[in-house]
């Protein structure tokens, strides 16, 4: 990205915005939660502080302080009648689905823990995780989050993979697989999607025991008890092993949960379970494959969630980094498909 030339006064203003960023963030949370942004949106000619206070049952003082910082942050503006209206930023903050998923995830999962980012960097450990629970990685705790945290984490997770499953399934089933391993199966959504797409395929979900309990409850509820089975694994254990027999090994948004050394260990373990026909599909959002700076920014910020909340040593990677790891693990890249949804790439690998 080219370096922007700012005047000193603008640069100072930007630096101050960073210094006070937590205030703008929490004010935005309140403006959403208290219904102030929605109230303003519903009043097309704008609304005064008094009207908003009455309409939302928030004090005039409360509405006033929130709207002052919101105006300075270009979330709202005052029209000629001195009534507040939403700017485009305010509209997206209130109603854009991706912004909503991100802001809830950052507030309910990451906000308190991010305070420990510096220690996480120094110690190589997710030092912020203690704000959620006493676990060594967040994955151990996923089945133990509070309902609000659970909703925020899973909405975030699903938002970035569900919409691409349709495109991905077409690619997977072009190969006519009979048996798929879904590594990092999470809630079982992809496994269920596979069984809905094809009447014969069987799926083995591989994940930690806590996740598999939830995933199996979902797959059984959907009527796939005979076609979807599970295999408990902790990839961080000493010498993880997986069964053989898959036509396709599927990993979606999974390897970003691990460090580079761990990824090589996981991929090598998979390579050992593959025969010459087995294909390994890796679906990821890579930072060097994004068309828009906005998407790259979200991914780079998400890396810090991994640093401070998830495990302390993983991140959203560049595709170029993955190509090296694939090679190190004894796999060879057969196809590199870059147009899955807007942001995803699928790397299809075989055994060397
Ligand atoms: C980010 S979620 C991906 C979920 C799903 N594949 C998707 O595309 O939405 C990562 C998954 O990896 C699993 N996982 C993380 N660490 C693990 C470990 N050490 N052993 C086994 N599974 C693990 C988590 O439980 C979770 O289900």
> β-pairing, 179-183 with 202-207?
parallel
Question: How close is the Cα of 153 to the center of ligand 1, in Å?
Answer: 12
Kindly list the structural domains of the chain, giving each domain's residue range(s) and its CATH number in brackets, ordered by start: 8-95 (1.10.10.10), 157-351 (3.40.50.150)
Q: How far apart are CA 309 and CA 347, in angstroms?
A: 27
Q: How far apart are CA 147 and CA 107, in angstroms?
A: 14
The pLDDT value given to residue 339: 80
Nearest CA to ligand 1 atom 6: 252
Q: What is the pLDDT along the chain (352 residues), one digit of tens a residue?
A: 556 789 999 999 999 999 999 999 999 999 999 999 999 999 999 999 999 999 999 999 999 999 999 999 999 999 999 999 999 999 999 999 999 999 999 999 999 999 999 999 999 999 999 999 999 899 999 989 999 999 999 999 999 888 899 999 999 999 999 999 999 999 999 999 999 999 999 999 999 999 999 999 999 999 999 999 999 999 999 999 999 999 999 999 999 999 999 999 999 999 999 999 999 999 999 999 999 999 999 999 999 999 999 999 999 999 999 999 999 999 999 999 998 988 999 999 999 9
Largest Cα span, the chain: 72
Q: How far apart are CA 299 and CA 289, in angstroms?
A: 11
**86, 76 in Cβ contact below 8 A?**
yes
Tokens of 155: 């909405």
Q: Of 129, 120, 127, which Cα lies nearest the Cα of 153?
A: 129
What pTM was estimated for this model as a whole?
0.92
Mutate to test the pocket of ligand 1, among 137, 207, 235, 341 (most ligand atoms within 8 A of CB): 207
Find the helix or strand (DSSP H, E) in which 179 lies. Answer: strand 179-183
- Whole-angstrom CA distances from 61 to 13, 27, 111, 222 are 26, 14, 25, 51
3-class secondary-structure state, position 202: strand
Question: How close is the Cα of 24 to the center of ligand 1, in Å?
Answer: 32
Q: How far apart are CA 137 and CA 160, in angstroms?
A: 21
The pLDDT value given to residue 39: 98
Question: How close is the Cα of 187 to the center of ligand 1, in Å?
Answer: 9
User: Does residue 184 line the site of ligand 1, with CB under 6 A?
Assistant: yes
Exposed e or buried b for every residue in 325-334, given b needs 16+ CB within 10 A? bbeebbbeee
**94, 38 in Cβ contact below 8 A?**
yes
Tokens 């004010």 found at = 27
CA 124 to chain centre: 21
User: Does residue 187 line the site of ligand 1, with CB under 6 A?
Assistant: no
Question: How close is the Cα of 249 to the center of ligand 1, in Å?
Answer: 14
DSSP result, 261-296: HHHHHHHHHHHHH--TT-EEEEEE--GGG-SSHHHH
The pLDDT value given to residue 1: 58
Q: Which atom of ligand 1 is nearest to the CA of 158?
A: 9
Q: How far apart are CA 343 and CA 289, in angstroms?
A: 7
User: Does residue 235 line the site of ligand 1, with CB under 6 A?
Assistant: yes
């Amino acid at each position: 990205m080219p370096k922007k030339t700012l005047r000193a006064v603008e640069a100072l203003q930007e630096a101050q915005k960073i210094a006070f960023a937590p205030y703008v963030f929490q004010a935005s949370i309140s403006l959403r939660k208290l219904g102030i942004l929605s109230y303003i949106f519903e009043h097309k000619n704008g609304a005064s502080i008094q009207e908003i206070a009455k309409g939302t049952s928030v004090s005039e003082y409360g509405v006033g302080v929130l709207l002052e910082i919101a105006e300075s942050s270009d979330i709202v503006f005052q029209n000629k009648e001195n009534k507040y209206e939403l700017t485009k930023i305010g509209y997206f903050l209130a109603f854009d689905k991706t912004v909503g998923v991100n802001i809830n995830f950052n507030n309910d999962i990451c906000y308190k823990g991010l305070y420990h980012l510096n220690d996480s960097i120094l110690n190589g450990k997710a030092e912020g995780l203690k704000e959620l629970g006493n676990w060594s990685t967040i994955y151990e705790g996923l089945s133990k989050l509070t309902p609000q945290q659970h909703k925020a984490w899973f909405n975030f997770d699903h938002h970035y993979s569900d919409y691409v499953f349709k495109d991905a399934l077409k690619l997977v089933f072009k190969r006519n697989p009979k048996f798929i391993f879904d590594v990092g199966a999470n809630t079982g959504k992809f496994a269920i999607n596979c069984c809905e797409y094809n009447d014969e395929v069987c799926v083995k979900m591989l994940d930690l025991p806590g996740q598999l309990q939830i995933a199996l409850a979902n797959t059984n509820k959907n009527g796939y008890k005979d076609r979807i089975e599970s295999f408990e694994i902790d990839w961080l254990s000493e010498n993880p092993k997986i069964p053989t027999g898959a036509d396709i090994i599927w990993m979606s948004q999974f390897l970003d949960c691990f460090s580079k050394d761990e990824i090589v260990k996981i991929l090598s373990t998979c390579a050992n379970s593959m025969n010459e026909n087995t294909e390994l599909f890796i679906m990821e959002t890579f930072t060097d494959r994004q068309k828009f700076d906005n998407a790259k920014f979200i991914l780079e910020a998400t890396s810090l969630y991994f640093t401070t909340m998830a495990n302390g040593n993983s991140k959203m990677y560049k595709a170029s980094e993955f190509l090296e790891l694939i090679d190190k693990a004894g796999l060879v890249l057969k196809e590199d498909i870059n147009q899955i949804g807007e942001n995803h790439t699928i790397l299809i690998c075989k055994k060397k």
